[in-house]
């Protein structure tokens, strides 16, 4: 289907093309100077000591869990309203996800009171997800994690550039942060990801596990800096490449401007939608600065949501659902121990509307009129 207005659109141009051309000219495609540069610049933008680039956001989550020692018998408390990767990687480590409800329909992030309810002797950590780019209640959740000696993992895939009231960036609000640079994210390279942390021990483990557990890199051996390697712990190949890293560096330079454009468009949407009876736009009161990744509205009920989705589709306007409630997936049958009433109502009423930096205010009005 040829969309009149698609859900998202890349901000790609001559700078991205030049960055890729420069990599091709150098004829070195695997991890080297572009990856090092991207990591250093990303670490600087988040304000963390370490940023480790990886092949995608799911790999970032997997390595974050493994670096923290999450394994069989462990439990990770996490939101039921999330992309499934955080839960899938929990199972991949042999651990169990424990799904917590959201705070409220107008604040669909992890409820700190729910987190406290779910803590058992097996709980090893809490995964937060900054839904749509809006930060979770980090101060409260951090206090709970400290009191119970739990690791705090940020699934910051929606939140690149978001910051708390005191200016601390998403990815620097827990023990370890995970980002995705998939093509629909605020910083897009196609397939890519990043792990951020201030902890030297975690950074070292993530670096090793990213590349088969090997103690030296191809690049270092190529430059004659090393010739032998050992494998201390068996690892993976979750490496990024130079082309994607070069794209990431250009996109990082555009991020602040593009997030500001997203903010302005979100305000136009909110202005128009706030007056619709029965409709609700979450995050009227934000905790800090959002990355404005998604424009989500709640219809009065499921029928109205489906009707709105159909009307927009007929007008060739793309919509989506972020997200179904994870325990409702077949693979998560074993995790249906709790009702999660707010998460389920959210999944029934939510609709994601088009939002991207190159969108016009007129396009926003078109979407709203078709609703």
58 makes contact with ligand PLP (CB under 6 A): yes
Task: Select from 83-91, 102-110, 194-202, 272-280 the region that touches ligand PLP (CB under 6 A).
Answer: 83-91
CB of 139 to ligand PLP, least distance (A): 21
- Find the binder of ligand PLP among 158, 169, 207, 272 (CB under 6 A): 158
Distance between CA atoms of residues 230 and 186, nearest Å: 38
Q: Which is nearer to ligand PLP, 85 or 162 (CB)?
A: 85
Stretch in the footprint of ligand PLP (CB under 6 A) among 154-162, 210-218, 274-282, 308-316 = 154-162
CA–CA distance, 54 with 39 (Å, rounded to integer): 10
Stretch of 55-63, 120-128, 217-225, 227-235 contacting ligand PLP, by CB under 6 A = 55-63
83 binds ligand PLP (CB under 6 A): yes
Which of 182/279 has CB closer to ligand PLP? 182
Interface pick for ligand PLP out of 63, 157, 265, 317 (rule CB under 6 A): 157
Which member of 16, 34, 107, 155 binds ligand PLP (CB under 6 A)? 155
In the complex, least distance from residue 60 CB atom to ligand PLP, rounded to whole angstroms: 7
Beta bridge partners of 129: 155
**Residue in 128, 129, 153, 170 binding ligand PLP, rule: CB under 6 A:** 129
Q: Which residue, 136 or 371, has its beta carbon nearer to ligand PLP?
A: 136
> Per CB under 6 A, does 82 bind ligand PLP?
yes
Number of residues interacting with ligand PLP: please give it, by CB under 6 A.
14
Considering the complex, what minimum distance in angstroms separates the CB of residue 125 from ligand PLP? 16
**Applying CB under 6 A, which residues contact ligand PLP?**
56-58, 82-83, 85-86, 129, 155, 157-158, 180, 182, 193
């Amino acid at each position: 289907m040829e969309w009149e207005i698609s859900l998202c659109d890349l901000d790609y141009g001559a700078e991205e093309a030049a960055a890729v051309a420069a990599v091709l000219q150098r004829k070195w495609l695997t991890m080297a100077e572009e990856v090092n540069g991207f990591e250093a610049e990303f670490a600087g933008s988040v304000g963390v000591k370490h940023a480790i680039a990886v092949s995608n956001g799911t790999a970032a989550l997997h390595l974050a869990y493994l670096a923290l020692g999450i394994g069989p018998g462990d439990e990770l408390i996490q939101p039921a309203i999330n992309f499934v990767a955080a839960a899938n990687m929990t199972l991949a480590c042999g651990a169990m996800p424990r799904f917590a409800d959201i705070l409220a329909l107008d604040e669909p992030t992890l409820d700190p009171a729910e987190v406290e309810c779910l803590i058992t002797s097996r709980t090893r950590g809490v995964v937060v997800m900054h839904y749509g780019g809006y930060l979770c209640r980090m101060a409260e959740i951090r206090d709970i994690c400290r009191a119970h000696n739990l690791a705090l993992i940020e699934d910051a895939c929606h939140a690149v550039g978001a910051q708390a009231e005191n200016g601390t960036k998403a990815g620097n609000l827990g023990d370890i942060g995970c980002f995705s640079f998939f093509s629909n994210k605020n910083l897009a390279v196609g397939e890519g990801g990043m792990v951020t942390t201030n902890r030297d021990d975690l950074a070292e483990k993530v670096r090793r596990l990213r590349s088969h557990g090997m103690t030296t890199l191809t690049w270092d051996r190529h430059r004659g800096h090393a010739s032998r390697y050992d494998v201390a712990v068996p690892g993976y190949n979750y490496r990024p490449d130079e082309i994607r890293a070069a794209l990431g560096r250009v996109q990082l330079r555009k991020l602040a401007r593009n997030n500001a454009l997203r903010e302005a468009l979100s305000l136009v949407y909110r202005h128009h939608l706030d007056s619709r009876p029965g409709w609700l736009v979450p995050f009227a009161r934000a905790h800090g600065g959002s990355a404005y990744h998604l424009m989500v509205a709640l219809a009065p009920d499921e029928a109205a949501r489906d009707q709105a989705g159909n009307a927009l589709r007929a007008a060739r306007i793309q919509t989506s659902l972020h997200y179904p409630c994870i325990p409702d997936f077949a693979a998560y049958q074993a995790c249906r121990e709790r009702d999660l009433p707010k998460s389920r109502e959210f999944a029934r009423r939510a609709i994601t509307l088009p939002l991207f930096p190159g969108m016009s205010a007129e396009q926003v009005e078109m979407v709203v009129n078709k609703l």
